[in-house]
Amino acid sequence: MYTPIKNILTLLFVAFTLIINGQGLNDLSVQEESPSTIDHNFTEDADQSAQDEDSFLRAADANDIPQRTFSNLKDATDGYYVISMVLSSDKNLKRAIKKHKRKGFEPGYIFIQDKGLYYYYLKSYNDWQPAIEDVNSKFDNTYKDNVWILKIDDSEPNRALAVNNSSNQPVLENEISNEIAGNIILEKEVSEKSANKDKLVKRADEYFNKMWYAEAAKLYEMALNKSQDNYSYQVLQKAGDAHYFNTNMEQAYKWYNILYENYSDEMSADNIFKYAHSLKGTGNYARSKKLMRLYNKRLKASSEPASAFNKQREIELDNILNTEKKFDIKNLKINSENSEFSPMFFGEDVVFASAMDSSVFNTRRYKWNNQPYLDLYVSKLNEESQELKNAVKFSKKVNTKYHEASVAFSPDNETMYFTRNNYGKKLKRDKKGINHLKIYRSKKVNGEWLEATEVSFNSDAYSTGHPAISSDGKKMYFVSDMPGSLGETDIFVVDINEDGSFSEPRNLGPEINTEQKEMFPFINDKKFYFSSDGHTGLGGLDVFEASFDAEKGFTEVRNLGKPINSNKDDFSYIVDEETQKGYFASNRDGGKGDDDIYSFKRLVLEEIPENKNAIAGVVTELITGDLMPKAMVELLDENNIKLKEVETAEDGSFIFEDLDSNTRYTLRTTGGDTYFEDERETATEDNTTVNVEVKLRKLQEMITVENGIRKLKTEMIHFNFDKSYIRPDAANELDKLVEVMNEYPDMVIKVESHTDSRGSAVYNKYLSGKRAESTRDYIISKGIAPERIQSATGYGEERLLNGCDGSVACTEQNHYLNRRSEFIIVEM
């Protein structure tokens, strides 16, 4: 059901589901790798051993790492040891161990009696790959001196020492530097019970606890096929779980079925749930229904959250199975034998996550599923065939040596969000040794992506991942197992503020989230999509869609049915609602790798309700009323960001369609250099076309003659009572005046300011002078030379426009008309 990478989010989230299908957040999480004290001498095929030896030697040679192999040692454990020095005396060993343990190493030594030498190691390993990785990275840049790798093989008591020297022979040192301080020597304590335990089971348990499920599953299979003495409750459960977390439902079902036959009364609700889902994964829906009823009873008996899986859900499942085929799907050529998933539109390209192994000697493998770590790739999109071609790795500033996946972009494609291991200079782990997932953000500057930084709601104590950005860029949906989750992993939302900060996360609630796993959200203007194994489905993760209502929230959660969904994991669904084409990922049978990307298109286009929200109008000339073709009209949002622009038709008409309902917009209209710009606010209504009249005014029409005096005729430049600052409406008129003065560069004017009659005549004279100065200063601030304003004079209440001289009662409106500025043309 979940491939290991999907399980990343799940197990880290309950483990790490990035690679979907089960790629929970936990699939990508990394657990602490402690040196093993378990004997490596388990039965292997001779050819396989030879292949492993050859792989180790080739990898060491390719990475220029010195190595040696010792065989048949007495009292030694098979494995790989990173050796930092070889000594002839043990007098400084304790100090050396103490020093390195303080620095986070797991040191010890191997004494070879025949040689009389102490081989001092920083860390030991069961497998060669992590040893190569640590040497290459210099233990995440925490150890700078030279080291080499010692392989111990086929060791048994009382055997003679055999040495196999490589071409890169390490140099032996005779003593430890006095700078090395000590720690206690590692003690290998194995309980009597562990000593009697099957070596294969012990090794499998070790891998299972490290979340190396692919390796663990193989060893449990070997142990269970070797002897029925190993058919204990714990071994059968872990064998089933190891396959379950690797989305191998057939093998998971095999061992869960044996577990149920032998230990049905002891099985927990979680065991029953996994058993039921493995049955779905094999297509046995009838028996899965029965087991889900038992799961429901076990939940109630164990006081776990009540399940919604009831008779109604059985009816829903029947309806899903009987749904007619609505989609045509295709496995893409770009898929590899590993995992590809989480496609995302990026302009005319598609970005996706992949575990493509691009190097023959690539030793960095993720132990959950024994695949290379995930990186982000970008590929060209063929719109007709929907194939993705010419895939290359995304920016080096984004991809690291650990997991990157599940990307989302802002509407302008200048900001990206993605999921990555909690990683700085090295992996960060919680108290249990778990490396969680985090969401990171990177911005594009001058065409280059910057170093990514983590978002504010991340934590070292839980995982966040699978970001999705709303079409307006104002919200981010994501997956987490943070406190407040209803299930194993839930979908949350945060607001993205204008300054780039985030609000507190909000859980989407029980309409979307269940007691199981919800992940891989995607949202557009029409629908909200996500994957879940908690809602009624066909098995594993299924893709669901939900409508959203501003008042009611999410409604009508609906399974997309076959063939988008299968009895395996189906996830990371994205769609272009206009073309109704898109992509999703699945680990269904018949694919090329663990998770493959599929394209899809609807066979019958879904009818989308017509959006009748529109703003329409006609642009005319203010004085003559003439229609104005080819005027430019811009539509701005509440933040003054241009959304659309159109040119008026021959009849001066324009229209903006497909707008949000009950939303405020601004119309900005220009008619060329000889007209003033017009700006006005309006708002849409529900499924209605709102009509707006726009009248443009010619620049020269502001020049008038009154009583033989030339003036610049503006709308009244009014001031608030007893104030001299420039109001927004006044600034708009003064901007028009500036345009005229720019059109006539020789024009010189005088500014005259007036007050109403309230207050003393002396004060009014002073106040009008301040208003005249404010007006002059504003015009100069817009680029007009100071010498083009001959004077700025205040006349107080000396030149009233009406009879409101204080001797009669007047309305506020009449007083308002007297508070004004006028502009006299001195020269042109």
3-state helix, strand, coil in the chain (%, to 5): 25, 30, 45
If asked whether residues 631 and 753 sit together in one domain, one would say no
Q: In this structure, is residue 302 part of a structural domain?
A: yes
Residue 194: the pLDDT is 40
Question: d(Cα 638, Cα 5) in Å, to the nearest integer?
Answer: 42
179: pLDDT strictly greater than 70: no
| Beta-carbon count within 10 A of 448 CB | 10
- Looking at residue 766, its amino acid is Y
814: pLDDT strictly greater than 80: yes
If asked whether residues 98 and 215 sit together in one domain, one would say no
19: pLDDT strictly greater than 50: no
Least confident residue range of 121-125, 244-248, 672-676: 672-676
If asked whether residues 711 and 667 sit together in one domain, one would say no
- Asked if 453 and 438 count as a contact pair (C-beta separation under 8 A), the reply is no
If asked whether residues 627 and 706 sit together in one domain, one would say no
The alpha helices in 142-186, defined as continuous H runs, are none
Least confident residue range of 165-179, 333-347, 689-703, 806-820: 165-179
Give the domain CATH number at 318: 1.25.40.10
Residue 182: the pLDDT is 29
If asked whether residues 226 and 268 sit together in one domain, one would say yes
If asked whether residues 53 and 175 sit together in one domain, one would say yes
If asked whether residues 59 and 131 sit together in one domain, one would say yes
Which residues partner with 361 through β-bridges?
none
pLDDT (mean) for 683-688: 87
If asked whether residues 691 and 714 sit together in one domain, one would say no
Q: In this structure, is residue 39 part of a structural domain?
A: no
563 cis-preceded (ω within 30 degrees of 0):
yes
Give the closest residue to 503 by CA, choosing from 478, 524, 520: 478
Give the closest residue to 530 by CA, choosing from 573, 501, 480: 573
Q: In this structure, is residue 412 part of a structural domain?
A: no
Q: Which domain covers residue 659, as residue numbers? A: 614-697
Domain boundary among 287, 305, 326: 326
Instruction: Provide the sign of the torsion angle of the four alpha carbons 508, 510, 512, 513, taken in this order.
Output: positive
Question: d(Cα 24, Cα 12) in Å, to the nearest integer?
Answer: 7
pLDDT (mean) for 4-28: 42
If asked whether residues 667 and 706 sit together in one domain, one would say no
pLDDT tens by residue, 544-576: 999 876 666 777 788 888 889 887 889 999 999
Residue 425: the pLDDT is 67
pLDDT category, 26, cuts 50, 70, 90?
very low
Phi, psi torsion values for 505, nearest 5 degrees: -65, 145
Question: d(Cα 254, Cα 249) in Å, to the nearest integer?
Answer: 8
Domain boundary among 293, 326, 359: 326
Residue 160: the pLDDT is 28
Give the domain CATH number at 659: 2.60.40.1120
Which of 395-409, 493-507, 675-689: highest mean pLDDT? 493-507
pLDDT tens by residue, 760-812: 888 888 988 988 999 999 999 999 999 999 999 999 888 888 889 888 889 88
Question: d(Cα 600, Cα 386) in Å, to the nearest integer?
Answer: 8
* DSSP one-letter code for 166: -
Give the relative orientation of helices 269-281 and 249-263 as an angle to the nearest 10 degrees: 140
If asked whether residues 784 and 668 sit together in one domain, one would say no
pLDDT (mean) for 312-341: 74
Q: What is the dihedral of CA 138, 141, 144, 149, to 10 degrees?
A: -10
Q: Is pTM beyond 0.75 here?
A: no
If asked whether residues 690 and 718 sit together in one domain, one would say no
Question: Across the beta sheet with 614-621, what order do the strands follow?
Answer: 653-656, 614-621, 689-696
pLDDT tens by residue, 570-595: 999 999 988 889 999 998 888 887 88
User: What is the overall mean pLDDT for the chain?
Assistant: 78
pLDDT tens by residue, 77-128: 889 999 988 877 777 788 788 888 888 889 988 887 766 788 889 999 988 8
- Which residue shows structure tokens 């003393």? 760
Grouping H, G, I as helix, E, B as strand and the rest as coil, residue 305 is coil
Q: In this structure, is residue 315 part of a structural domain?
A: yes
pLDDT (mean) for 714-726: 75
Question: d(Cα 526, Cα 298) in Å, to the nearest integer?
Answer: 39
Q: In this structure, is residue 289 part of a structural domain?
A: yes
pLDDT tens by residue, 53-87: 677 888 887 787 888 888 777 667 889 999 988 87
Q: In this structure, is residue 583 part of a structural domain?
A: no
- The total number of structural domains in the chain stands at 4
If asked whether residues 105 and 182 sit together in one domain, one would say yes
Residue 792: the pLDDT is 93
Residue 319: the pLDDT is 62
596: pLDDT strictly greater than 60: yes
Which of 119-128, 596-605, 674-683: highest mean pLDDT? 119-128
Domain boundary among 326, 346, 361: 326
Q: In this structure, is residue 476 part of a structural domain?
A: no
Q: In this structure, is residue 770 part of a structural domain?
A: yes
